[in-house]
Structure 1
Amino acid sequence: MGFFEKKINNKIQPNSTSTSQRTNKSPTKYIKPNLQENIQIIKDSLGESSDIIIREINIGKEGSIKAAIIYTDGLTDTPSLQNFILETLMLDTKGTELQEKISPEQNLISVLKDFAMTVGDIKDLTDFDVLFTGLLSGDTVILIDGYKQGLIISNRHWVDRGVTEASSQMVVRGPRESFSENLRVNTALVRRKIKDPNLWMESKIIGKRTKTNVAVMYMNGIANDKIVKEVCLRLDKIKIDAILESGNIEELIEDAPLSPFPTVFNTERPDIVAAALLEGRIAILVDGTPFVLIVPAVFVQFFQSSEDYYQRADIASLIRLLRFFAFAIALLAPSLFIAITTFHHSMLPPALLISLTAQREGVPFPAFVEAIIMEVTFELLREAGIRMPRNIGAAMSIVGAFVIGTAAVEAGIISAAMVIVVSITAISSFVSPTYDLAIAVRMLRFVFMAIAASFGLFGITIGLIALILHLCSLRSFGIPYMSPLAPFNISDQKDTFIRLPKWKMFTRPRLINQQNMTRQKDSASAKPQPTKNEEYERE
């Protein structure tokens, strides 16, 4: 009788300790020593689903030991299953070489785990909760008759979109790669950019039904430990059936869910995540989505693009100032036009006032109704262009806006000046590098239009004061949303409205990071020094 046959006779002899443990365990939670009973529990729990493959085999020197290999078709790497698992169990365990390397005190599970299996990630398995989570994630489960434990082998493999170009945050200069729906691919993209052992990652499983894998990444020694603990605490408090996208988590952990302004930043670009981690921020990666959450988030962060740091400081500063100017236009242009043409005619030059009056002659609606009609029409065209097929969506939006605008002016329903104002507003709303901030501006634009139609410039002023007070009251994981503007921090102004040269940005944001503030030694050592050509000077 071989070693495996001897172990099968001795493996289920109970002792006092194991008997007491069995009496406290749930009858269906823990794996049972009877293989057929375990297989039946798996079939009953999964409804005998056709994609759950259960392969029963005989192993051991004489094939007297019954075992089962269980995996999910489509989620498991079938070639590795056949080459490294089935071959090991069905061929290697019947030879004598493996038995000569082991001692009689070891059981079959330990033998397979320590000496036989030629796979990287292999763990012990004792309960059905872990079994179902791993099985439905693509792992392979091995159960052996007579043992109250099994093995779970990580050989997941499924078809994904792969690494493609970012579609929501385009740049002229910079990396083209973006995150995919595979969590391990996403963490690898970040690891490839930051090859530092201090880049730590904590894994969590959120969602009672979906059991979605979530990873929290941060730079140890740079990130604020209190913020890291707060992020993990908020994630641990999530008790929900399903997490299908990072937006589900964002809605559950953000500080101000009723505010139109986002307090959690999201991106699909690995370079933005790497830069945020090096500033002391924390990244939350969710399996099944290419969008990664970054916390804490501040207001000025939504005006920054990764391209700002890949080109010269003067060009980047000019473009960033243009974004702030476009934000003001997108928010206030229609309301200012309504207020001035309705209440404050004296502010306009006489020639312009005469021209606007002539245009509005015969228009049956006040300026506020005109603006509402045009804004709602443009929003409909924008949404239609997004939902339409990509080949015709852009063309439909442009043609629709041109045809409707021209026809409305010729019909005398809308004035030409209002079409110009709404068009400039729409163009300015596209300048924002982040979609979430553009959505907030689109919402608030209608509020300011209503205030301007009711109270004129006085109402707009009161609305701006209320908006600023609201922004100053927001926080993102304990960090003031308007920092470094409120509270004002002079050292962090180097990357707010303008971006100073790289050799001037030798410290990290002060409020976000309070541990390791220094990026480089000092500005003097980092400043580029032009080399002198001595021969040229002598000539």
Structure 2
Amino acid sequence: MLGLPSPPIEEEHIQKDLARNIEMAKKIFSDSSDMVYRDIQVAQDQKAFLFYIEGIVDSQEIESQMLKPFIIGYVENEDKKSIDTPQNSRVSLLQASKGTTWGDVITAVINASVVLLMEGSNEAQIFNVRGGVRRSVEEPQTESVIRGPKEGFTETIRVNTALIRFKIKTPKLKMVSFVIGEETKTDVVLSYIDGLADPKQIRDVTKRLKDIKIDGILESGYIEELIEDHPYSPFPQMQYSERPDTVAAQLLEGSFAILVDGTPFVLIGPVSLWQLMQASEDYYERFFISNFVRFLRYIFVLIAIFLPGLYIAVLTYHQDMLPSTLLLSVAAAREAIPFPLLVEALMMEVAFEALREAGIRLPKTVGQAVSILGALVIGQAAVEARIVSAPMVIIVSLTGIASFTIPRFNLAITVRLLRFPLMIMAGTLGLFGIVITTMWILVHLSQLTSFGIPYLSGISPYYKKDQKDIFVRAPWWRMIHRPQEMAKDNNQRMKEEINGTPKPEKGW
């Protein structure tokens, strides 16, 4: 008769026999050169065994708060044959817990805890001493601003949650923990403000996070792609940021944030297209300055999308739309160019994208020089060799500069991608092709959602109150309401009594 299969190691219980427990621990973590094992004498007839992973724990805290108290306690209590708990030996670590199975021990060790096994006890003492060398709080590299906080998220999730807590000091700020990844066991935190965030959205995103079954999560981009509404859309449906003030601002509007251990980029959702066009600095400068910058931003976004296509369409099919002088000038510049206008534009755009990618991947000291010199040398040489025309170099350069005005990198990439089908349709059907492609983009945007919220919320569907923070930013004393689709149960951000232009006291 065959016996029943033995349970997995994770389900096996810890025994009172210390020697057997030590053998099991070394078997589980075999071939791991970063494991540290330490035998300890805690009483006259009692031994203990301590083990942890070196490099991810605070070694100094282990020495001062565990090993030293054990040694002192043993010397002062030599007459005792045994002790009941480590606290009898003056261990003063606050974050302490117990585990009864080897699954508890494995989870604790890989999450930067120290495990203590004692003779005669079938429970493991677990102490959280997470440490190791991690990057300190620094200024964000991808979202630099002239005016605003200079601190940015790090790769340590508890540092990141603390940075948000410093901004929002209320018990309504919730931090719900998840562990995702069969092998990486990555800590993930869902953050939101109770009473502002839509409960249906929180339940929805919680379910999506729990449904993720994958071997590992190394960056928040994994989660973004696994939980977004429309994974085949080129438009980003979540915002990411490494600025605590940006995340705090979105939480105060009823959004939620997803923090992932090991990356400084925090996901924010739901988002609208207008939100991705806004920068933190818009709210730190006076409103008319912010409105001027936003106006330039929207103008240059249109240039980044449509300028190459319009240039191709007009010169290929609609030359009569240009003034005669300008048409003769452009025709003279293109007289000896051997390629059609569409091929010329595609060659220059691909070359510009390659130079931009090379500048990003190379070291900073080399990347900027390669990008600038490459663009100058290649552009000048191509014009002199009559491979491309000078007006095309100007068009491509202006388009590239315009794309840099988009504050969110993921939206800027989308604009760069949409430029190519617009150019192809313009070279094939002229302005009619641009109109068709533009209508397709608008129809797609009108159908797009981010966690159930329309992507064009505020415009489609139209909300009058939301117009104070879409294309323009109203003064702060006028923005008394949150976005209509976000905090539905608590839409008012400011008291009505202070709604009005601030005025100095009489007699000033």
Q: TM-score range by the shorter chain?
A: over 0.9
Q: Please state if 1:79 is matched with 2:60.
A: yes
Q: Please tell me the residue identity of whatever aligns with 1:45.
A: I
**SS state of the match for residue 533, structure 1?**
coil
1:21-420 aligned at under 5 Å gives the runs: 29=11, 30-60=13-43, 62=44, 64-92=45-73, 95=76, 111-113=85-87, 116-420=90-394
Displacement after TM superposition at 1:381 (Å):
0.5
Larger deviation: 427-436 or 32-41?
A: 32-41
Partners of 1:338 and 1:114 in 2: how far apart? 81
For the residue of structure 2 that corresponds to 1:213, the secondary structure is strand
Return 307-316 or 39-48, whichever deviates more. Answer: 39-48
- What amino acid is the match of 1:475? T
CA separation in 1, counterparts of 2:71 and 2:298?
A: 67
Q: Which runs of 5+ in 1 are unaligned?
A: 1-22, 100-106, 535-539
| 3-state SS of paired residue (2:430) | helix
Q: Which amino acid aligns with 1:73?
A: E
**Corresponding position of 2:467:** 493
Note the C-alpha offset of 1:516.
1.3
Cα distance in 2 for residues equivalent to 1:58 and 1:401: 69
AA paired with 2:73?
D
Q: Deviations over 1:342-362 (max 9, x none)?
A: 000111111111111111111
Return closer, same or farther for 1:515/1:98 CA change in 2, 3 Å cut-off: farther
Match of 2:481 in 1: 507
- The residue matched to 1:67 in structure 2 has which SS? strand
Alpha-carbon distance between aligned partners in 1 of 2:261 and 2:218, rounded to the nearest angstrom? 8
The 10-residue stretch of structure 1 (459-468 or 48-57) with the greater mean CA deviation from structure 2: 48-57
Residue 404 (structure 2) aligns with:
430
**Which amino acid is the alignment partner of residue 34 of structure 1?**
D
Residues 92, 98 of structure 1: 8 Å contact kept:
no
SS of 1:355's equivalent in the other structure is helix
1:347-406 CA-to-partner distances (Å, cap 9, x unmatched) read 111111111111111111111011001001101100111111101211111111111111
Is residue 41–residue 74 contact of structure 2 (8 Å, CA) maintained in 1? no
Given that 1:98 and 1:115 are in contact with CA atoms closer than 8 Å, whether structure 2 keeps it comes out as no
- By how many angstroms is 1:37 displaced? 1.7
Hey, what's the Cα distance between the residues in 2 that align with 1:371 and 1:39? 69
1:46 to partner: Cα distance: 1.7
Count of aligned residue pairs for this structure pair: 502
The alpha-carbon deviation at position 93 of structure 1 amounts to 5.3
Query: Helix, strand or coil: the match of 2:412?
Result: helix
Q: Distance in 2 between matches of 1:484 and 1:31?
A: 58
Q: Is the 8 A contact 2:478 2:499 kept in 1?
A: no
Unaligned stretches of 5+ in structure 2? none
2: CA distance, partners of 1:27 / 1:428:
58
Q: Show the counterpart of 1:467.
A: 441
